[in-house]
Amino acid sequence: MATIQLLMDTLGPYVLKWYTLLIVLGAFYYLHRSYIEFKFNKAFGCKRAYPMDIGFLGISSLVELLDCMRKGTALEYLGAKTTPTGRNTFEIYLAGVKILFTKDPEIIKAVLATQFNDFALGSRHAHFLPLLGDGIFTLDGDGWKNSRAMLRPQFSREEISHVKILEPHLQTLASHIRKSHGDVFDIQDLFFKFTVDTATDVLFGESVYCLRDGTISELPPADGFQGREGFNEAFNHTQKVLASRAYSQSFYRLVDSLSFRRSCKTVHNFAKYYVDKALDMDPETLYKKSQSGYTFLYELAKTTKNPRVLQDQLLNIMVAGRDTTAGLLSFTMFELSRHPQVWGRLKEEVYARFGKGTAEDIDKITFESLKKCEYLKWILNEALRLYPSVPVNFRDATKDTTLPVGGGKDEKSPLFVPKGTTVAYTVYYTHRLKEVYGEDAEEFKPERWASQPKLGWAYVPFNGGPRICLGQQFALTEASYTIVRLLQLFPNLTSAYSGPYPPKKMLHLTLSMFDGVPITMTEEQ
């Protein structure tokens, strides 16, 4: 009894101390979570994924990744970390938060489709909020469902089939190419300006005319919104910062800056100008505008008069519609310029279907006729395989759940996924799996699509499941039309690229060439 009394007298003053309580609670939580994991493991046969050491709290690895993003080698960095393991799935801990990295098609299928309700966007809303607000790409649950229901009709077949709106911008693009007089130029820079011109035209009803930059005879209208002059630069800057915020996960506030906030304000002011302009129209004027040509904003304004909703949704679509198409066009032209035999075969198909670009020939280029260009379709499929627009994406577990594979030494056992776990799926490496695409998986080879077996979830360039990209047909149509018209106008294409292969890639929200796409293009002699 004396011993017990002595123990109580010694420990008593500390029992109620906050840190003692904290330790006890922490221990209890750990034991509780361990028990839950034990139950899942026993019930489903779950085993751990391969654990990868990324240093204390993962801070050093995060710094290295962000540095590689600045150098254009982020995807190679991830590959160097993961490929030697020989695994498709592994786990890391970043600031104490468990993250599962995977390129396994079965896990991607589970996260995006079969177990859709077990996963959500996690921190994406916080990462993207300063620019994108509450839109289709930032919302979960009912907010996302309402956004998708609002936007889906705008991407119907009838609405995306209007290719004629692209031709004036294509002609401006052609003026820049002619300006080079056969010398080397960066077509990626032109593509990003071209797609922001077409996107603002389709979305807002007025283009920012980035390509009309004073170096060619065509100039932007003098009566346009003055705020559009700095729009492209501000928009580009926000994309870089948003990407860094996303890859920083819980450390996202560390990459914030005053210049980022100013750029967001510039973009918001631009969108607000056109939203207010649409909302000021009476129903009759709005109807007449709708009849004169398709404008996303005017159609959306028929469903809601909330200016913030319109602004957020338009900017969400802008991010997707501009960068993804520009990246796809850039990588496609990069590979076509390196493969003259592919360019030659494509030339034969285009000339056979659409001629060499007379006024009558241009009228033949429609949404339906472009879909029938088989070899062009193979080329775009292959470009999207090697260079998916969103190479890495994230989902967070909304509850304790499991994934069908990835556990154990053979990765065939289920995985226990605690609530709050982030699942990062690297489509870039999924699309390069040799067990799916063969030993030549790293090569640009459009002909593989002539006999490629059904790929299922091993090919997801536009995501999949309920959140599959609404604008995929619009993007493919714009890319197809642009390539066909450029080939008609400038049939002579050569590469001036002398860098490494695979090339360095700019990893923002979407993928693009780090060093641009240097080429020469000339008209037929």
CATH number for the domain harbouring residue 189: 1.10.630.10
Residue 219 lies in a domain: yes
Residue 17 lies in a domain: no
Q: Compute the distance between CA of residue 306 and CA of residue 304 in angstroms, rounded to an integer.
A: 6
Bridge partners, 94 (sequence order): 97
DSSP string of 327-396, one letter each residue: HHHHHHHHHHHH-HHHHHHHHHHHHHHHTTS-HHHHHT--HHHHHT-HHHHHHHHHHHHHS-SS-EEEEE
Q: CA geometry: angle at 381 spanning 166 and 122, to 5°?
A: 90
Max CA separation in the chain (angstroms): 107
Q: What is the pLDDT of residue 491?
A: 96
Residue 468 lies in a domain: yes
Q: What is the pLDDT of residue 60?
A: 80
User: What tokens does 435 get?
Assistant: 């067990």
Q: Compute the distance between CA of residue 504 and CA of residue 6 in angstroms, rounded to an integer.
A: 69
Q: Compute the distance between CA of residue 406 and CA of residue 413 in angstroms, rounded to an integer.
A: 6
Cβ–Cβ under 8 Å, residues 410 and 42: no
Q: Compute the distance between CA of residue 455 and CA of residue 171 in angstroms, rounded to an integer.
A: 38
CA 388 to chain centre: 8
Q: What is the CA radius of gyration of the chain?
A: 26
Q: What is the pLDDT of residue 442?
A: 95
Sheet holding 422-426, edge to edge: 50-51, 89-94, 97-102, 422-426, 392-397, 119-120
Residue 3 lies in a domain: no
Task: List b or e across 433-442, with b for residues whose CB sees 16 or more CB atoms inside 10 angstroms.
Answer: beebbeeebe
Q: Compute the distance between CA of residue 152 and CA of residue 477 in angstroms, rounded to an integer.
A: 17
Q: What is the pLDDT of residue 21?
A: 66
Q: What is the pLDDT of residue 16?
A: 54
Which residues lie closer than 8 Å to 76 by C-beta, 6 or more apart? 68, 502
What residue type is 462 in one-letter code? Answer: F
Residue range of the domain that includes 429: 45-522
Cβ–Cβ under 8 Å, residues 268 and 311: yes
Q: With the C-alpha atoms ordered 183, 188, 189, 192, is the resulting torsion angle positive or negative?
A: positive
Within 10 A of 141 (CB to CB), how many other CB atoms are there? Answer: 11
Q: How many domains does the chain have?
A: 1
Residue 258 lies in a domain: yes
Which residues lie closer than 8 Å to 490 by C-beta, 6 or more apart? 174, 177, 521, 522, 523
User: What tokens does 167 get?
Assistant: 């031709």
Which position has the token pair 């346009």? Answer: 224
Residue 225 lies in a domain: yes
Residue 131 lies in a domain: yes
- Run means of pLDDT, 10 residues per run, the chain, 525 residues: 65 59 67 74 85 78 83 87 85 80 96 96 89 92 91 72 85 96 96 93 88 84 68 88 82 84 92 90 78 80 90 89 90 98 97 88 88 96 96 93 94 93 94 95 96 90 92 91 97 95 88 95 84
Residue 281 lies in a domain: yes
Cβ–Cβ under 8 Å, residues 93 and 58: yes
Cβ–Cβ under 8 Å, residues 370 and 481: yes
In degrees rounded to 5, what are phi and psi of residue 289?
-60, -40
